[in-house]
Amino acid sequence: MKKVSLVIIALIVLLAGHGYAQEVKKYIYNPGKIKPTDSVMRVKPGDKAEDFTLPSLSGEKISLSQFQNKKNVVISFVPAAWTPVCSAQWPGYNLLDDIFKENDAVLLGITVDNIPTLYAWTTAMGGVNFPVLSDFWPHGKVAQQFGLLRRDGVSERAIVVIDKKGTIRYAEAYDINVRPPADIIIGQLKKINQEK
Amino acid sequence: MAVVLNGCAGVDYSVRKDVRPIINFTLSMPDKSSEIDYLGLDKNSRFFKLSQIDSPAVLIEVFSMYCIYCQQAAPQVNELYRLIGKNGLTDKIKVIGIGTGNSHQEAEIFKDKFAVPFPLFPDFREGVSTVLKVNSTPTFVLLSVRGRYIRTICRYEGKFFNAEQFLGEINRAMAKEKL
């Protein structure tokens, strides 16, 4: 009897793992190929970054200005939770934590989704190890501030790098259908660090 | 034509045999001389063809740095590599990884983060992944690289939880092929 119970428990554990793997894929919505970019950037390298404050998944509010003179900031804007490219972008950034540390930088992930949606999505992805900020209300205000809000209400897939002085060092909206390589983030951070 | 050979209850992968020949694709030489030695390649070359790997079979893990399942599977894949060595099978099966959609730097980050002991190769433009007909990651493809054609012995799609059990599957497939 004990043996049978152990086998059943082992099977449940294994099947639960299987279920987890299938669940995330099952709930990803594929919008198909969409217009690569659909906004006009309002910022460029050399500009001072305007401050913003957004609620984060951890419950605290995060402001850009809190990192001034302390950390370089990389912002990863992704269009929306539960979409294919975004779901195959942020989990990779979990592996960059040492690189961020070495370069005295923090990563902020921003989408226009609300907190409950971001919670469900990031949990399904196994969690992310950087702050995730919700630009839900006023809808896409921060994305708009950078000129990254598309006409359909989602943000561009963009990377913005801001140095400790609050100066924008890099700002680029990528083809929304394609994940930008991590090389871009790493290259920009190294460039800032080499100037020391 | 893909044929389902078998599967194990509760294990998150499917096992398939694909009889179509695979193009003998070319990869850049690994950076580390220990990895060049492991694959039995000529140190003076910049590139090598799959068929030049010095073993009758090659197990390829197609992964992505961005794939959570690949990240979760990494310790078990490392264990599989270790078991292949422990069981004296290194001369029969070599293990390599192909980072689909990954740059050289991204593949290196994955390698460092998970202390991957076997060679990983970037496949930024997904050329190799296309040749291997990979739709999801991780995918494991066991290839016979001896003889007239390179062909698939087995494909394993999804992560696995038990390296020993997985090696058992590989051994059974190899035995059927008399490798």
Q: Alpha-carbon distance A172 to A161, whole Å? A: 9
Is the Cβ pair B71, A95 closer than 8 Å? yes
pLDDT of residue A196: 67
pLDDT of residue B17: 54
- Name which of B62, B92, B109 is nearest B170 in CA terms: B92
ipTM of the complex: 0.84
pTM of the predicted structure, to 2 decimals = 0.86
Nearest CA in chain A to B112: A95
pLDDT of residue B16: 54
On whether the CB atoms of residues B118 and B81 are closer than 8 A, the answer is yes
pLDDT of residue A70: 98
The range of the structural domain enclosing residue B136 comes to 13-38+48-176
pLDDT of residue A169: 98
pLDDT of residue B11: 34
Q: Alpha-carbon distance B168 to B162, whole Å? A: 10
Which band of pLDDT confidence, cut at 50, 70 and 90, is reported for residue B19? low
Residue B8 domain flag: no
Place of tokens 């950087």: A130
Alpha carbon of B3 to those of A34, B7, B29, B154: distances in Å?
A: 35, 12, 33, 10
Using CB atoms, which residue from B9, B12, B109 is nearest to A96? B109
**pLDDT value at A31 more than 90:** no
> pLDDT higher for A180 or A18?
A180
The two three-digit tokens of residue A72, written as one number: 């370089």
**pLDDT value at B179 more than 60:** yes
pLDDT of residue A22: 47
Residue B2 domain flag: no
Angle, alpha carbons A73-A74-A77 (nearest 5°): 135
Is the Cβ pair B113, A95 closer than 8 Å? yes
Q: Alpha-carbon distance A90 to A31, whole Å? A: 18
Residue B115 touches partner A, C-beta closer than 8 Å: no
CATH value at residue B144? 3.40.30.10
| A28-32, A56-60, A118-122, A133-137: the lowest-pLDDT one | A28-32
Contacts of A59 (CB under 8 A, 6+ apart): none
On whether the CB atoms of residues A140 and A149 are closer than 8 A, the answer is yes
Is the Cβ pair B66, A24 closer than 8 Å? no
Chain B residues closer than 8 Å to A94 by CB = 71
Which band of pLDDT confidence, cut at 50, 70 and 90, is reported for residue B22? confident
Nearest CA distance, A51 vs chain B (angstrom): 30
Alpha carbon of B9 to those of A9, A108, A116, B176: distances in Å?
A: 13, 41, 35, 21
On whether the CB atoms of residues B153 and B143 are closer than 8 A, the answer is yes
Nearest CA distance, B68 vs chain A (angstrom): 6
Share of chain A above pLDDT 90, in %: 76
Q: Alpha-carbon distance B39 to B118, whole Å? A: 10
pLDDT tens digits, one per residue of B38-67: 999 999 999 999 999 999 999 999 999 999
Nearest CA distance, B54 vs chain A (angstrom): 32
Residue B166 touches partner A, C-beta closer than 8 Å: no
Nearest CA distance, B129 vs chain A (angstrom): 16
**pLDDT value at A2 more than 90:** no
Residue B141 domain flag: yes
Chain A residues closer than 8 Å to B9 by CB = 11, 14
Using CB atoms, which residue from A88, A96, A99 is nearest to B67? A88
Is the Cβ pair B68, A91 closer than 8 Å? yes
Chain A residues closer than 8 Å to B99 by CB = none
Residues B66-102 as b or e (16 or more Cβ within 10 Å = b): bbbbbbbbbebbbbbbebbeeeebeeebbbbbbbbbb
Highest mean pLDDT among A108-112, B13-17, B153-157: A108-112
Report how many domains make up chain B: 1
pLDDT of residue B5: 31
Nearest CA in chain A to B136: A25
Using CB atoms, which residue from B11, B66, B109 is nearest to A179? B66
Chain B residues closer than 8 Å to A91 by CB = 66-68, 71
Using CB atoms, which residue from B66, B105, B136 is nearest to A91? B66
The mean pLDDT value of chain A amounts to 89
Establish whether A12 is a catalytic residue. Answer: no
Catalytic residue among A62, A74, A86, A149: A86
Cβ burial of B175 (10 Å; 0-12, 13-18, 19+) is: exposed
Strands B139-144 and B57-63, how do they pair? antiparallel
pLDDT of residue A85: 79
**pLDDT value at A125 more than 60:** yes
Chain B residues closer than 8 Å to A11 by CB = 9-10
Question: Where exactly are the structural domains of chain A?
Answer: 1-29, 31-194
The mean pLDDT value of chain B amounts to 88
The two three-digit tokens of residue A58, written as one number: 């951890």
In three-state form (DSSP H/G/I as H, E/B as E, the rest C), the secondary structure along B74-118 is HHHHHHHHHHHHHCCCCCCEEEEEEEECCCHHHHHHHHHHCCCCC
pLDDT of residue A78: 96
**pLDDT value at A45 more than 80:** yes
Using CB atoms, which residue from B10, B106, B159 is nearest to A21? B159
Alpha carbon of A53 to those of A130, A142, B87, B133: distances in Å?
A: 16, 9, 57, 45
pLDDT tens digits, one per residue of B126-165: 999 999 999 889 999 999 998 778 989 989 888 888 999 9
Taking the domain A31-194, which CATH number applies? Answer: 3.40.30.10
Residue B171 domain flag: yes
Residues 65-84 of B with CB under 8 A from A: 65-69, 71-72
On whether the CB atoms of residues B96 and B39 are closer than 8 A, the answer is yes
Chain B residues closer than 8 Å to A18 by CB = 10-12
